[in-house]
Structure 1
Amino acid sequence: MRTMRLSLGLALLCLLRAEAEDLGAIAGKWYIIALASDSEGYLQKKDELKMAMASITVLREGDLKISFAIPTLEGCKKRESIYKETGVPGEYYSSGESGEPTRVVDTDGKTYAVIFVSRVKNGKTLHMLRLYSRTQQVSPKITALFKKLAREKNFTDEMITMLPSQEECSLEEA
């Protein structure tokens, strides 16, 4: 779960693209709509997952504060982390943990983003592709784009999950 939270945060942070001039454009609420992963833990639990929420606040120094609301079988897990630039435009790391950089695969810069994350855990490289949205639903065109990009990254249909929405875990309750 800790790895998932970190990679969710790192992926969302990559919404800040190198050419972005306004950090404020990424501030606000985001929904994690879909996932594709080759992680055995993810594959075992993917049918139990629900849509998560994240909120980005831009701090004075250019750092980003990320608040998460992640529904789990044990209840709503809420976390907050501070992320700092790596020195590479658009890449950040958690100030409390180390993490692999994440990469924007596709975005319109305002309503959705497809993010690719690679992480090393117990000596094994794991990959995850995520679809972020400002709303709880995306158009069929964006869903199709996500699935196409997932297949291009060698994810099978069994590795791709469109997450159901949920009401029991929100940022407003944090």
Structure 2
Amino acid sequence: LRLACLLCRESFVEVHVVSPTLLFLPNTFTDLLQISGEWYTILLGSDVKKRIEENSVMRIFMEHIQGWDNSSLTFKFHVKIDGECIDISGLCDQAAEDGVYNVIYAGFDTFRIVEVVYSDYIIFHLISFNNEQTFQMMALFAREPDVSPKLKKKFVEICQKYGITEENIVDLTKVGKFSSLRFSLPKFPRYCREKSKKR
């Protein structure tokens, strides 16, 4: 585990970085509390690109992550299937292997955090096992609706270390207003349902 300090916004920010061969996930309540809060999906990457293309349940628009004192994590996000928004919430339990989390979603999924700046961004690596196909996925979430080109480039480089090519990365900040609607609307889930009813 390599711990670095970056000068950001005129103050030092801790960045936890992990190589592809190491595992890291905050396993103290303090760390989980720092992860808790609102997040936006910025970039998704996968070695099977169809898993993150339109109408895929893995093409997620993150809204909120909550850490708990039993080391569990709760995720709240949305997917868009055939033009309709679907709200999804899920509880992820820590696996027997420290730093690894399991969840049943599009199969049996296991994931960990690759890199995190609690006040800025977080990068996940996920492996999904199902009857059709085993695939891996990377996700960049941020506290704001978009991030700098420098951070996006860094994400691409991390994906490449896991065997995910740049062509298999999608930028969800460029797919319209879906990922940032809640920035201006007080209740994004309600907005999705109302839009669906008008169809």
- 1:141 aligns with one of 116, 131, 150: 150
User: Is it true that 1:56 corresponds to 2:72 in the alignment?
Assistant: no
- Structure 1: segments with no counterpart, 5+ residues: 1-13
In angstroms, what is the RMSD of aligned CA positions? 3.3
Alpha-carbon spacing, 1:157–1:57, altered in 2? closer, same or farther (3 Å) = closer
Alpha-carbon spacing, 1:112–1:55, altered in 2? closer, same or farther (3 Å) = same
User: Is it true that 1:166 corresponds to 2:166 in the alignment?
Assistant: no
Normalised to the residue count of structure 2, the TM-score between the two structures is 0.64
- Percent pairwise identity: 22
Alpha-carbon spacing, 1:112–1:84, altered in 2? closer, same or farther (3 Å) = same
In the other structure, the counterpart of 1:8 is: none
Tell me: higher relative CO, structure 1 or 2? Use CA pairs within 8 A at least 6 residues apart: 1
Normalised to the residue count of structure 1, the TM-score between the two structures is 0.72
| Greater CA drift, 63-72 or 154-163 | 63-72
User: Is it true that 1:33 corresponds to 2:48 in the alignment?
Assistant: no
In the other structure, the counterpart of 1:78 is: 87
Find the structure with the greater CA-based Rg.
2
Q: Which amino acid aligns with 2:35?
A: I
Q: Distance in 1 between matches of 2:90 and 2:78?
A: 12
Q: Distance in 2 between matches of 1:96 and 1:148?
A: 27
Compute the displacement of 1:86 (Å): 1.8
Compute the displacement of 1:61 (Å): 4.5
In the other structure, the counterpart of 1:102 is: 111
Question: Deviations along 1:53-74, whole A, 9 cap, x unmatched?
Answer: 2212345644333221233433
In the other structure, the counterpart of 1:157 is: 166
Q: Which amino acid aligns with 1:69?
A: H
Alignment: residue pair count: 159
Alpha-carbon spacing, 1:167–1:154, altered in 2? closer, same or farther (3 Å) = closer
In the other structure, the counterpart of 2:6 is: none
- Structure 2: segments with no counterpart, 5+ residues: 1-22, 190-199
- Secondary structure at the counterpart of residue 101 of structure 1: strand
Compute the displacement of 1:78 (Å): 0.2
Q: Distance in 2 between matches of 1:52 and 1:23?
A: 20
